[in-house]
Structure 1
Amino acid sequence: MKIIKVRDLNKVYGKKDNLTYALKDANLEINKGEFIAIIGASGSGKSTLLQLIGGVDFPTSGEVIIDNENIYNLKENPLAIFRRRNIGFVFQDFNLIPMLTVEENIEMPVLLDCRKVDKDYKKNLIKTLGLEGKEDSLPSELSGGQKQRAAIARALINKPLIVLADEPTGNLDSENSKEVLELLKVSVKKYNQTIIVVTHDINIAEEADRIIRIKDGIVTEG
């Protein structure tokens, strides 16, 4: 089943003679449950593609269809709700709120959506991600690996269709990077989610089901 369809996607900056294509005529289809790696040099358009798929930036032209919904046909508020309920984000710098505990950080996306937290699911996530005993800790009391695990739990708490991870191991050592990668792979299998990881690390990319390459804004596979 195709969960994501990217059609003739362009992101252009500048005007007339000073046009810069961050993304050029990108076409891509991703199946439900796939683990996809996006690789390319710095400035090649990796993060741009991820942001457009995630609905956090707007394309110059083209379509992004998620679960049969053309997300850029949605108005601002419906798009925000769709994004919050269907897409989880994991960032390189974790983006945890410093004054909230681990548990509060994890719960935040559900509470922002004015819904009740599934306590059994949250407990299972915390156990799967090795955060038992850290629920009441602040981010400043965690190691880098623990912070990223908390960020992954927060991305998964809404049971999203898709998880988008932008250099999720970029601030971690090799041991923690390997653990985070394994946790993402577990999530694909356990929760049947689609995960797209932007990475500069070919070793991480080779663990994915499929590799998407970007060079100068042009998307290719393999």
Structure 2
Amino acid sequence: MELLNIDNHCKVYGRGENQVTALDHVSLTIEKGEFAAIIGPSGSGKSTLLHIIGGVDVPTSGKVYLDGQDVYAGNSEKLAIFRRRQVGLIYQFHNLIPTLNVVENITLPILMDKRKVNEERLEELLEMLGLKDRRTHLPNQLSGGQQQRVSVGRALMNAPSVCLADEPTGSLDSHNGHEIINLLKLSNKKYRQTLIVVTHDENIALQADRIIGISDGKVVRDERMV
């Protein structure tokens, strides 16, 4: 079942001599529950594509549909709500609020919407992430790997339609990086969580259901691995 439809997508930065085409007529569909890896050289447009899927950046032209919803049809307020409720974002750096503890960081998107926290899901995530005994710790009391686990928990807490991870292991050593990818794969299987990961790591890409290669803003490879 199709979850995501990217239709004839273009993204241009600057004007005249300074104009740069980051994405050049990109069209893709992603299935519900799929684990897709986006690969390509630096500056190829892969992170730009991820950010536009997640409502972080605005396309110059083209459409993005998530669960049949035109992501960019509403105003900025509706786009912000879409990001909080429908998309889980994980970056290379943890982006945690230093004054909030583990539970507060994980539940932040829900609290920002003034909604009730699903305590059962929270406890399940803390168990899966190995953070039950760290729930009241601040970020500076956690290791780098634990901080990234909190970022994963925050991305998954809302049970979003799609989880987007931009080089999620880039700031971690190989052991912690391996654990983070295993957690994302577990979520992908357990919750049928659609997962899109931007990575330079071929070993991570080979674990995906599908590899999408981007070069000079164009899709140059689209290969299903299973």
TM bin, normalised by shorter chain, reads over 0.9
1-side partners of 2:34 and 2:112: how far apart? 28
Matched, 1:92 2:92: yes
Q: SS of the counterpart of 1:72?
A: coil
Instruction: Indicate the residue corresponding to 1:145 in structure 2.
Output: 145
How many residue pairs match? The answer is 222
Alignment correspondent of 2:200: 200
Equivalences for residues 1-222 of structure 1 within 5 A: 1-220=1-220, 221-222=222-223
Partner SS for 2:170: coil
CA distance in 2, matches of 1:90, 1:82: 16
Q: Normalising by the residue count of structure 1, what TM-score does the alignment of the two structures yield?
A: 0.98
Q: Secondary structure of 1:24's match?
A: strand
Report the Cα distance in structure 1 between the residues aligned to 2:28 and 2:216, rounded to whole angstroms: 16
- 1:133-172 deviation line (CA, Å, top 9, x unaligned): 0001111111111111110001011110110101000011
Which whole-Å CA distance do the structure 2 matches of 1:200 and 1:184 have between them?
A: 17
Structure 1: distance between partners of 2:104 and 2:17: 49
Alignment identity in percent? 54
Deviation at 1:79, TM superposition (A): 1.6
TM-score (norm 2): 0.96
The answer (yes or no) to whether the contact 2:3–2:68 under 8 Å persists in 1 is yes
Question: Are the equivalent residues in 1 in contact too, given 2:55–2:82 (CA < 8 A)?
Answer: no
Q: What secondary structure, in the 3-state scheme, does the structure 2 residue paired with 1:153 have?
A: helix
Which structure 2 segments of 5+ residues have no match? none
- Distance, in Å, in 1 between the alignment partners of 2:84 and 2:102 is 19
CA distance in structure 1 between the aligned counterparts of 2:163 and 2:202, rounded to whole angstroms: 20
The alpha carbon displacement at 1:13 in A equals 1.6
Q: What 5-or-longer segments of structure 1 have no aligned partner?
A: none
Note the C-alpha offset of 1:191: 1.1
Query: Could you say what secondary structure the match of 1:189 adopts?
Result: helix
Q: Distance in 2 between matches of 1:135 and 1:21?
A: 44
* Aligned-pair CA distance for 1:98: 0.7
